[in-house]
A and B are shown apart, each in its own frame.
Chain A
């Protein structure tokens, strides 16, 4: 298993470490629900060193990325970030990612477990394009500080960059703990105000400790992957392997905002298949809430009476909503908000209700 620069720090904090996407990562330091509440009430710090980070440069980098990405990369303003996917010709994704548009390059952030596949895919399709694909995953680390108090805490450590001037899904460069030219983006996977920082591996522990020290008075705590999964589900954000995967396309997942069919983008891999899905979708991704004690889990079937109408992608206890929640695919005629369904637990049924996604967001304003 691979380890991030913070592995021994997590162990010393008493974290429970698990395998995730080939990495040995902290799933929790204390109680998972308390960690989720911490991010919603103050702010929390996440080690995201496991995620893949790839710089793409070269004369043809925009044309190349517009061939392999679902969104319109050349139209992203410099300094802005967009959600995108890499899809196969059948329209199903091999991964989803964030695309950072720089003046003369593009920076990609991909999922840990898919990084090797993504790199192989990019290199395979780079044939005929003048591009340089620079995998920085192993040399760099990444931290996220998420929550309402993240700006005031992080600003204490950042000189020459006013964090309040970085808009949602924008990025800038500033001096963080004396480290010049550090990439800072206003992004995250929690539905909160928050930032992600990109660092050389050798600097990660120092910045991690500085953030926790600066945030001690604001009750900023380290947060594990368990709470991260709850927070992203509350925020209606997809996780590869759950809402999207090799058999679940972005259109039915409601990720149209990350897919561009504009003619100016030109043809791209998966376009034709996704156009067909768009004209005749078979199912839709919805939120589910249930007041029953059981948590709907991936694969659980949903019923309307005796009719099987769908299945769960992700489920969690939601401390923010005070109920158990899930994301699920349902047939189009069962997707209306407020539809009453039942979730099956090995033959026992529990009532649930279709809800709007996201369940929670403080960022969309």
Chain B
């Protein structure tokens, strides 16, 4: 079961509120899809500058594997406060700990209401429906 302390987007990002800050990352499923379980297959991560205003659903960065590039989408609106510099040179952190050390950006959310996102149980079902 995935962590129940956060919400999930259909584009496989998660968002977790921490006081006035919202932390955003990507799920284990997203990491698996990008890397097929081989952390060395992830090659690059492009992250936004602090201060950028993100609309909900807006592309805020890219993750690149040896196969392809995938966009990262903001699950909620807000201003970028900080990006996780550690992952830029160590993308394997995303494989090892997508829920914690593998966070991607922190934003100041426009609203703390995480509307239109899934809880862990709903995301579980959503992912199950994706597998063929």
| Residues in chain A within 8 A of chain B (CB atoms) | 16, 27-28, 30-34, 226, 230, 293-295, 297, 316-317, 345, 348
Of the candidates B41, B44, B64, the one whose C-beta lies within 8 Å of that of A33 is B41
| Residues of A with C-beta under 8 A to B38 | 28, 30-32, 34
> Is B66 positioned at the interface, with any CB of A under 8 Å from its CB?
yes
**Bound-complex Cα distance A30 to B66 (A):** 13
**Bound-complex Cα distance A32 to B66 (A):** 7
Interface residues on B, range: 10 to 19
- Nearest CB to that of A224 among chain B residues? B36
Q: Is the interface of A mostly helix, strand, loop or mixed?
A: mixed
Distance from B98 Cβ to chain A, minimum over Cβ atoms (Å): 18
> Is B81 positioned at the interface, with any CB of A under 8 Å from its CB?
no
**Bound-complex Cα distance A216 to B64 (A):** 33
Which chain B residues (62-84) contact chain A, with CB distance < 8 Å? Answer: 64, 66-69
**Bound-complex Cα distance A295 to B68 (A):** 9
Known contacts A32-B38, A293-B43; 4 further A-B pairs (Cβ under 8 A): A33-B66, A226-B67, A295-B64, A348-B46
Which chain B residues (50-103) contact chain A, with CB distance < 8 Å? Answer: 64, 66-69
**Bound-complex Cα distance A146 to B110 (A):** 56
Q: Is the interface of B mostly helix, strand, loop or mixed?
A: mixed
Distance from A173 Cβ to chain B, minimum over Cβ atoms (Å): 37
Is there contact, CB below 8 Å, between A297 and B69? yes
Across the A-B interface, give the 7 residue pairs with the lowest CB-CB distance, nearest first: A31-B38, A293-B44, A16-B36, A32-B66, A317-B66, A31-B40, A294-B44
**Bound-complex Cα distance A297 to B43 (A):** 13
| Residues of B with C-beta under 8 A to A32 | 38, 41, 66-67
| Residues of A with C-beta under 8 A to B69 | 295, 297
Of the candidates A31, A226, A295, the one whose C-beta lies within 8 Å of that of B44 is A295
Distance from A11 Cβ to chain B, minimum over Cβ atoms (Å): 12
A-B contact pairs, 25 of them (CB 8 A): A16-B36, A27-B67, A28-B38, A28-B41, A30-B38, A31-B36, A31-B40, A31-B41, A32-B38, A32-B66, A33-B40, A33-B66, A34-B40, A226-B66, A294-B44, A294-B46, A294-B64, A295-B44, A295-B66, A297-B68, A297-B69, A316-B66, A317-B43, A345-B46, A348-B46
Distance from A115 Cβ to chain B, minimum over Cβ atoms (Å): 24
**Bound-complex Cα distance A348 to B46 (A):** 10
| Residues of A with C-beta under 8 A to B40 | 31, 33-34
**Bound-complex Cα distance A15 to B128 (A):** 19
**Bound-complex Cα distance A231 to B64 (A):** 19
Distance from B130 Cβ to chain A, minimum over Cβ atoms (Å): 14
**Bound-complex Cα distance A297 to B44 (A):** 13
**B40, B67, B68 — which one has the most chain A CB atoms within 10 A of its CB?**
B67
| Residues of B with C-beta under 8 A to A297 | 68-69
**Bound-complex Cα distance A32 to B46 (A):** 21
- Nearest CB to that of B59 among chain A residues? A346
